[in-house]
Structure 1
Amino acid sequence: MSKMPWRRSRPAERPSASSSASEAAERAHLLDSHPQVVHADIEQMDAETRKMYRDARNAAIETREQDAREKRTREFVVRAPFQLGFVITLGVLAALLVGAMVSELTTIIMYVVGALFIALGLDPVVRWLERKGIKRPLGIGIVFGSFILIIAGIFALVIPMLSNQVAQLVRSAPSYFNDIQNQPWFKDFHARFDGLVDLDGLLKMGQDFVAKPENWAQFAGGVWQASIGIANGITAAIIVLILSLYFLASLQAIKRGFYTLVPRSGRAKVMDITEQVTKSVGGYVNGMVILALINAVLGFIMMTIVGVPFAGLVAVGVFFLALIPLVGSLMATVLVAAVALFNSPGAALAAAIYYLIYMQLEAYLLTPRIMNRVVSVPGSLVVIGALAGGTLLGLLGALISIPVTAMVLMIVKQVWVPRQELH
């Protein structure tokens, strides 16, 4: 019986540098071709940004291949613990100082954020004019000039109407208040709920409040404070418009400057996300303004037909309330119904029914068409984002909560999720 020749077992072969490089290239290809990953549209970029993007893509590929060949590993070794602790302490103090500075500069930050959103909302129109063969400076002049003319025209139409209706409100408010007990709806409400609510006591309390001169002095002080607030608001609006013009004129340069702060090998992914975010924010701002304008115009027509008092003044309030995500339409409904109640319960009921129908049409017909593929955020995150934004930055925070939440979701889906699925 012949014996088989003895052979020494060979140790497992280590993968060569070329195989590691090919594996890294394959891994990078799988990451780039993941269904969630969306690359920037280079046709929407200007020539300099397009050149920077292509260079960054090539640099990312070269860096991955070089890392795979060299198999570089980084070790964390603490050689000077006291020096490390001192540096960490300085970093904490610097963070506290920056936080204190941010809290003091909240108003300026709100101006900057508001101007940036206006610039991003106007930028898609400027790009459209560029695709039609108009130079960007001329396109910016046309778009921003038209924007200013539209705002001036709206104010020219609205301010005289508002002043007349406010004066009418001031003149007729005492008669509304004193004759409220003679209104048919008040008598009906008094007959139904007389045992539950002391309407006569509440009415007498209100009349006594109006009759005291010191209360009118407080009211005059409140009017003075409101006038100061209006003046500050006009000043803030002028500052925001000037900043938005600067942002719109230098938007491409600002983005390129931001890209240069990122390492060349990781710049392409940052450009992918940033271009998508700016496009989504611009579309979101345009969509919200269009929806709010439709809401205000149709609401004004309805209030005129139903006979709601001070329809023009209420329509302006509806426009600004409709800009607030999630709860704006509901707040507008409450406002219109409350004002319509001064006319009659039937007018208030008709206004409430109209807005209930309109909110359904807006949710299922107008919003999907106008906001198509702009932002897609689950309802629960919309609520959380609106609450967090409103707590941090007030009304402005509530307005920007949806695009900011969409930006965070976009980063998670296109950066974090694909990397986790490849492990």
Structure 2
Amino acid sequence: MAIDERDRVPRTLRVAAALGWRALVVVAALFVVGQVLGTLASVVVPVAVALLLAALLDPAVRWLVGHRVPRSVATATVVVGGLGLLGGVLTFVVMAFVDGVPELTAQLVEGIDTLVAWLTDGPLRISEQQLGAAQQDLLRLIGDNQGVLTTGALTTAAALGETVAEILLAVFTLVFLLHDGVGIWGFLLRAVPSDVRTRVDVAGRRGLAALAGYTRATAVVAVVDAVAIGIGLAVLGVPLAVPLAALVFLGAFVPIIGAVVGGGAAVLVALVAQGPVSALIVLAIIVAVMQLEGHVLQPLLLGRAVRLHPLAVVLAVAAGLVVGGIAGALFAVPLLAVLNSGIRSLRSPADEHLDPADVDGSEPQESGPPEPGHDRHPDVDGDTGPPAVAAGSTGTAR
């Protein structure tokens, strides 16, 4: 009796090999996609920003359309009004920063003088000659790297033109997403096979609803954080309270990292300007605001539809930062929210026969416990679902 060649290889090794080469294919595909996105970053990033802004501004457009305003006029009004508001806020922040720099500089000089006095008269007893030598070394280091600094300034000037082009592309994309987002989504669905098109449509709408909910909730949380911390800084008399509050607002859109950067800058300015006591008070204010955000605002505003585990958020931000820098950290969590909601919708029996027009921002229902007589344990063929799902019923074509 001939022995099958497969019987000579342990089943565990065969399964591991099958999983291994499939994992390699998936990793290779993700690597290729990452390389393509990296090459097209100047296009992908503006489009992604436009998607976030469209999710944030779409309710205003719908409200105007609901009040008998033509959609083109509503889109133009919202885009122009939003850009005007953003420009006004940025101008106010920059002017406040410029006005506060002299005061901060004077306090910084005073702080440095205090530090030098402590170094010379304190327990370290550093001589003035040693401090002078350190100062000369610092000046020499700046002089030696003057060429690098000049090159960096020229690179920044060249990058300014690219930034302007990307901003224009983002605005152009935003206009069309607000004006004809439904038509664009319908065009993209044409690439999906007709037998699963409705199923993908429902999952895609779930993902877009999760993106909209996440973006709006994050904007509200960012406003609350900035106002609360800005009021605390103003009451304490910390310089640059308004620019620091604006930094906190922008940092709120990058979970974990943004809070650390914005809060750290506020604590550092308070330390330089007013000493350790004021810095500790600012730190306490920031910790209290972060606790309010994590335990009250986010659960209340985000709800269950886009709720993500904190570990998943941290890992997504870390991976996005490594792969795409600041832009990767900014878009990692929204992308994770979209994928989480879309995949859960594809796995939800309740969404299988749902009309796409009936999709809202609610959470897709998970499959419940198995009914009597339905074995949910995987068999040797890998069937893990009820008979109807295993038979290939993935949706109703429309």
Q: Do both share a fold (TM > 0.5)?
A: yes
Are residue 333 (structure 1) and residue 268 (structure 2) matched?
Answer: no
What residue in structure 2 maps to residue 421 of structure 1? 385
| Residue 285 (structure 1) shift | 1.4
What residue in structure 2 maps to residue 142 of structure 1? 77
| Residue 252 (structure 1) shift | 1.3
The structure with higher relative contact order (CA 8 Å, sep 6+) is 1
Number of residue pairs aligned between Structure 1 and Structure 2: 324
Are residue 243 (structure 1) and residue 178 (structure 2) matched?
Answer: no
For the 8 Å contact 1:121–1:281, the answer to whether it is kept is no
Alignment of 1:6-405 (within 5 A): 101-166=36-101, 174=109, 176-182=111-117, 207-212=135-140, 214=143, 217=146, 221=150, 226=156, 232-342=162-272, 343-405=274-336
For the 8 Å contact 2:200–2:346, the answer to whether it is kept is no
- In structure 1, what is the Cα distance between the partners aligned to 2:206 and 2:127? 57
Residues 421 and 99 (structure 1), Cα distance of their counterparts in 2 relative to 1, 3 Å cut: closer
After superposing the two structures, state which structure 1 stretch, 381-390 or 217-226, moved more.
Answer: 217-226
Larger Rg: 1
| Residue 170 (structure 1) shift | 5.9
Structure 1: gaps (5+ residues)? 1-92
| Residue 350 (structure 1) shift | 0.6
| Residue 132 (structure 1) shift | 3.9
- Deviations, residues 385-407 of structure 1 (Å, cap 9, x unaligned): 22222222222222222232223
- Give the alignment's TM-score, normalised by structure 1: 0.66
Task: Tell me the secondary structure at the aligned position of residue 308 of structure 2.
Answer: coil
- In structure 2, what is the Cα distance between the partners aligned to 1:273 and 1:199? 70
- In structure 1, what is the Cα distance between the partners aligned to 2:285 and 2:33? 49
- In structure 2, what is the Cα distance between the partners aligned to 1:353 and 1:158? 24
- In structure 2, what is the Cα distance between the partners aligned to 1:187 and 1:314? 33
The CA RMSD over aligned residues, in Å, is: 3.6
Whichever residue aligns with residue 273 of structure 1, its letter is A
What residue in structure 2 maps to residue 70 of structure 1? none
| Residue 374 (structure 1) shift | 4.7
After superposing the two structures, state which structure 1 stretch, 134-143 or 147-156, moved more.
Answer: 134-143
- Deviations, residues 14-51 of structure 1 (Å, cap 9, x unaligned): xxxxxxxxxxxxxxxxxxxxxxxxxxxxxxxxxxxxxx
For the 8 Å contact 1:302–1:351, the answer to whether it is kept is yes
Residues 125 and 348 (structure 1), Cα distance of their counterparts in 2 relative to 1, 3 Å cut: same
After superposing the two structures, state which structure 1 stretch, 311-320 or 337-346, moved more.
Answer: 311-320
- In structure 2, what is the Cα distance between the partners aligned to 1:314 and 1:234? 25
Structure 2: gaps (5+ residues)? 1-27, 350-382, 388-398
- Deviations, residues 286-343 of structure 1 (Å, cap 9, x unaligned): 2212222222222222112212232233223222222111332233222211111112
- In structure 2, what is the Cα distance between the partners aligned to 1:180 and 1:267? 68
Task: Tell me the secondary structure at the aligned position of residue 421 of structure 1.
Answer: coil
Task: Tell me the secondary structure at the aligned position of residue 385 of structure 1.
Answer: helix
| Residue 417 (structure 1) shift | 6.5
- In structure 1, what is the Cα distance between the partners aligned to 2:330 and 2:116? 41
Task: Tell me the secondary structure at the aligned position of residue 182 of structure 2.
Answer: helix
Whichever residue aligns with residue 354 of structure 1, its letter is I
- In structure 2, what is the Cα distance between the partners aligned to 1:178 and 1:226? 34
| Residue 231 (structure 1) shift | 5.8
| Residue 206 (structure 1) shift | 5.5
Whichever residue aligns with residue 238 of structure 1, its letter is L
- In structure 1, what is the Cα distance between the partners aligned to 2:195 and 2:261? 49
Identity of aligned residues (%): 22
Residues 358 and 200 (structure 1), Cα distance of their counterparts in 2 relative to 1, 3 Å cut: farther
For the 8 Å contact 2:252–2:258, the answer to whether it is kept is yes
